[in-house]
Structure 1
Amino acid sequence: TTVVPVDGSSELPYPTHHKRFIVQMFTFVDQNNFSTRKDMVFFHCTTAVCYPSSTNSCQQPCHRQRRAVSAVRKVPSSQTTLVSSGEVILTEQRPSAPNTRR
């Protein structure tokens, strides 16, 4: 997962209150014809709430792309919550039509 910065160009009322991610995914294929399956996709993630102060900026450095499980910072469960999305609709990317307007 890669975090994407959210800035004023996002046109969100409070850009610092939002995080965006790039997530690598895979799909299962039908073994007979290798077409992708049409299963439902949902996102579930655990997030921690942080209140910035003069001693805690809430910024966590990312030194390595992959870490050992023991390297993950433990946060008290009272400060974490599970967030789930509704169904994510995946669509096929279609080539754009050439611009015929003049």
Structure 2
Amino acid sequence: MKDVSQYTPWIVAIGALSLLIIWLFVRGARRRAAKATRVVTRMGGNFGRALVATVVIGGMQWLVLAHTTDPRTWAAVLGFPALFAAAQLVRMFASTHEVAAKSKGGHR
């Protein structure tokens, strides 16, 4: 087994690259939300983006976990994506819109 300190520059580089990708993704999402003029109805596009994100995140996790045994590194590599996933789930299930009540006549 090789010394963990040998992989430290690579782990730092992967971490910095991950933060850059997340920052670019959030920045792009904010811009798209601000300029949104239509609703995306194609689930195929969303599924493709989700699949690519899953492969990138899973690949980076596998790469880091395969080359280190430090529990702090494992916690960071597994914890940050879990934190973002949990935040997204909380936003998804926290309903902030009001449902319009039906009028007495039965028409909207």
Length-normalised TM-score, structure 1 = 0.22
Q: Which has the higher contact order (CA 8 A, sep 6+)?
A: 2
Higher helix share: 2
Length-normalised TM-score, structure 2 = 0.21
Higher strand share: 1
